[in-house]
Amino acid sequence: MSLKDVLMPFTAWGNLFKEPVTVKDSRNVEAAPRYRGFHVNDVDTCIGCGTCEEICQNAAIDLVEVAGRDAKEGDSGLRPMIDYGRCCWCALCVDVCTTRSLGMSNEYKWVSSDPEDFRFVPGVDEKSWNDNNKGYFKMDGYDLYSTERVEMGELHPEERDKSFVEMIQGFSKEQAQKEADRCVACGICTATCPAHMGIPQYIEAIRNDDLEEGLRILYETNPLPEICGRICTHKCETVCSLNHKGDPLSIRWLKRYIADQIPESKYKEILETENITKNGKKVAIVGAGPAGLSAAHYLALMGYEVKIFEVQEAPGGMTRYGIPEYRLPYEMIDKDVDYIKSLGVEFQFGTRVGVDVPLETLEKEFDAVFAGTGLHLGRSTRVPGSDHKRVYQAIDLLRDVSYGKEIDLAEKVVVVGGGNVAMDITRTIARLQNKKFGKVNVTATCLEAEGSMPADDEEVIEAREENATIDPGWGPQEIIVENGEIKGLKVAKCLRIFDDEGRFNPSMDMENQKVFEADMIVESIGQAMDISYTDNIKEKLTFGPRGRIQVSPDFQSNIPWLFIGGDIIQGPDVIHGIANGHKAAKGIDKFLKSK
């Protein structure tokens, strides 16, 4: 501190005996309607994203904890506190506010002898102007960031409904940077991502055109970026701050952009994984789906020798044998997996644990086991006729298509189910029918009414664009079979799906029935797990609701050497599998180090 700083306050004493120049405002006129006075904040709408804090050029805003508001998905629970010793009433914070919760009353006159009073949380601290609705609010017609997504190129319906070529074309550098530019970098999304990916960080890397850094950030939490960059359920986008005033950021496509730009041959160098010191311990993994691959990746990085046992002929689990190629090309799965292979992870395909190799053998030969075997048994409607040989399970057909087997396709097909898997099989059948018969005749139906189908809206829209019929709101009653041939599916109007206790208990209007003509039926109403490989150790495991094995937060079962994750524990989606696999890898490491 300089001498000047010390003496400065005393210079004011010079004014001590001067006549004060304060003028009493006797008119008490109100400020103009759009005058910028003290801030107001609709704290129920505010999500505590901190964008106001970030933009304030006077560092007048701090996000602070307020009583009674906890962090939850899409809301940090924090609220902006404003220091009026610094605020210059520029209103940048109001203009940028992602939710439009922040505004300014037109009240500017307020006297208090305590300077601390001029630092408060608008909308939380009681102020006379809190309900004042005059003042300054952001008007329509301009925005400090773009509220619209950069459009993604897609194949036209006519081009795509005959082929399995990837539909989504991916961003160019210009498009990616423009989209990345919209990010306000609040990081609200990170909590919602099951893998808690460093989303604002990798988006910043795109802005800086430093894709190698972007790749490093992706791999910190997600070793399947090509897969996730295409088919992730992108829960992050639902909580994106920008979603409040416009389109959420295309987080998923930005992730894909990073991975797409870098050839796999450069990964090891960029990710600095050329030399991994082995620790001499071995882990076996059952299932080469996302959960198993993720666990394998992180274990390999920690120096474990990892071997994956897989029933099918290729890795990827449901991402290969479920998700159709037009959404996720196989070479993209291969790219992600090839890198994991390059870390020394071994694969043994065509081997069913529990049949070809007992779990006990894995226990003996390895230090720990991770099982991520997924949900592979189709569920049947069990309506009369459902045991007919031309009633198929969606996942069985999708697997056959992945293997390149010709399926015994009919000209008229009905799919029972309204989720994403049902849309995948419907759109796959549409493509195959188009190829084989030159026309599409497939109808998907489900209990849920239009607008509340479990499938994503875009899946339903795109299925319709590809000439499939989606006729929701019907409950299957019977598969009509005449002379051994399927004639159709009889359905009744579904009145409601859940009973008063909220249990699944659909009720139908039997007066309102109809028949969907078909010579082949595909059921797609959910999948179940096959964990018969644990039969011999069953009594040592604990089972929770719906037959799920109970695991610790580290995904360790009651049998210490057995860790379990992915669809059979949580989800079902790829990113949960990845997150589970990562946590299990850390859990295995902890377990083996403490042994």
Residues forming the site for ligand SF4 (CB under 6 A): 41, 46-52, 55-56, 58, 60-61, 80, 82, 87-93, 97-99, 101-102
Give the shortest CB-491-to-other proteins separation in angstroms: 43
Among all chains, which residue has been given the structure tokens 């920690």?
Answer: 302
Q: How near is the Cβ of 55 to other proteins at its closest, in Å?
A: 9
8 A C-beta contact, residue 317 and residue 292: yes
For residue 301, give every residue at least 6 positions away whose Cβ sits within 8 Å of its Cβ, in sequence order, or none.
273, 276, 343
What minimum distance in Å lies between the beta carbon of 84 and ligand SF4?
A: 8
Say how far apart CA 495 and CA 419 lie, in whole Å. 19
Which DSSP symbol is given to 388? Answer: S
**Residue found by looking up tokens 């497939």 in the block:** 442
**Minimum CB–partner distance for residue 458 and ligand FAD (Å):** 11
Q: Does 56 bind other proteins (CB under 8 A)?
A: yes
The 10 Å Cβ neighbour count of residue 150 is 21
* Interacting partner of 65 out of ligand FAD, other proteins, ligand SF4, none (Cβ under 5 to 8 A depending on kind): other proteins
Contacting residue, 100, 352, 379, 399, with ligand FAD by CB under 6 A: 352
CB nearer to other proteins: give 50 or 316: 50
Name the packing angle between helices 290-301 and 330-342 (round to 10°): 30
Helix axes 251-261, 199-207, angle to 10 degrees: 60
Q: Which is nearer to ligand SF4, 99 or 192 (CB)?
A: 99
Whole-number Å distance between alpha carbons of 49 and 98: 8
Choose the stretch contacting other proteins; rule: CB under 8 A; options: 46-54, 275-283, 287-295, 471-479: 46-54
Query: Applying CB under 6 A, which part among 23-31, 86-94, 288-296, 441-449 lies near ligand FAD?
Result: 288-296
Binding test (CB under 6 A) with ligand FAD, winner from 214, 354, 417, 473: 354
Task: Look at residue 374 and give the partner it binds from other proteins, ligand FAD, ligand SF4, none, a contact being a CB closer than 5 to 8 Å depending on partner kind.
Answer: ligand FAD
409 binds other proteins (CB under 8 A): no
- Binding span for other proteins by CB under 8 A among 26-34, 124-132, 181-189, 476-484: 181-189
Round to whole Å and give the CA distance between 588 and 583.
Answer: 9
How many beta carbons lie within 10 A of that of residue 512, not counting itself? 12
**Is there binding between residue 573 and ligand FAD (CB under 6 A)?**
yes
Region of 12-20, 50-58, 88-96, 304-312 interacting with ligand FAD (CB under 6 A):
304-312
Q: Residue 431 is encoded by which pair of tokens? A: 């493509």
Verify cis geometry, omega within 30 degrees of 0, for the bond prior to 315: no
CB 435 to ligand FAD: min, Å: 20
**301 to each of 268, 297, 345, how far by Cα in Å?**
11, 6, 10
- Considering only 104, 318, 455, 551, the residue that binds ligand FAD (CB under 6 A) is 318
Alpha helices by DSSP H, listed for 265-419, are: 267-270, 290-301, 318-321, 330-342, 359-365, 394-402
Nearer to other proteins, 190 or 434 (CB): 190
Residue 414 burial by Cβ neighbours in a 10 Å radius (0-12, 13-18, 19+):
buried
Cβ-based nearer residue to ligand FAD, 223 or 566: 566
Contacted by 573, from other proteins, ligand FAD, ligand SF4, none: CB < 5 to 8 Å by type: ligand FAD
Strands 562-564 and 368-371: parallel
Q: Interface with ligand FAD includes 372 (CB under 6 A)?
A: yes
Stretch that binds ligand FAD, among 121-129, 240-248, 296-304, 315-323 (CB under 6 A): 315-323
Q: Return the one option of ligand FAD, ligand SF4, other proteins, none that residue 52 interacts with (CB less than 5 to 8 A, by type).
A: ligand SF4
Q: Are 237 and 243 in contact (CB under 8 A)?
A: yes
Instruction: Give me the least distance between CB of 36 and ligand SF4, in Å please.
Output: 7
Q: Report which of 396, 391, 447, 384 is spatially closest to residue 421, judged by C-alpha positions.
A: 396
Which positions from 520 through 539 interact with ligand FAD, judged by CB under 6 A? 533
Residues 6+ apart with CB under 8 A from 476: 381, 383, 416, 445, 489, 490, 491
Q: Let me know: does 330 contact 302? Beta carbons within 8 Å.
A: no
Of the candidate residues 198, 418, 566, 587, the single one contacting ligand FAD (CB under 6 A): 566
Q: Which is nearer to other proteins, 71 or 461 (CB)?
A: 71
Residues 63-92 that bind other proteins (CB under 8 A): 63-65, 70-73, 76-78, 83, 85-86
Tokens of residue 21, six digits = 């120049």
Cα–Cα separations (whole angstroms), residue 464 to 233, 333, 423, 442, 576? 21, 27, 10, 10, 29
Asked if residue 353 binds ligand FAD (CB under 6 A), the reply is yes
Amino acid at 444: A
Q: How far is the CB of 356 from ligand FAD (least distance, A)?
A: 8
Interface with other proteins, residue 62, by CB under 8 A: yes
**Nearest approach, Cβ of residue 39 and ligand SF4 (Å):** 7
Question: Which two structure tokens, joined as six digits, stand for 335?
Answer: 């790219």
Answer whether 33's CB lies under 8 Å from 106's CB: yes
Site map for ligand FAD, 319-338, x if CB under 6 A? x--xx---------------
Site for other proteins in 185-204 (CB under 8 A): 186-188, 190-191, 196, 200
* For helices 574-594 and 290-301, angle between their N-to-C axes, nearest 10 degrees: 40
- Minimum gap (Å) between residue 172 Cβ and other proteins: 22
Which class for 141: exposed (0-12), middle (13-18), buried (19 or more C-beta within 10 A)? exposed
Interaction pattern, residues 410-449, with ligand FAD; x per rule: CB under 6 A: ----------xx--x-------------------------
Of the candidates 360, 372, 377, the residue with the CA atom closest to the CA atom of residue 534: 360
Positions that interact with ligand FAD (CB under 6 A): 231-233, 286-292, 309-312, 317-319, 322-323, 352-354, 372-374, 376, 395, 398, 420-421, 424, 533, 566-567, 571-575, 577
Positions that interact with other proteins (CB under 8 A): 48-50, 53, 56-59, 62-65, 70-73, 76-78, 83, 85-86, 116, 119, 186-188, 190-191, 196, 200, 553, 583
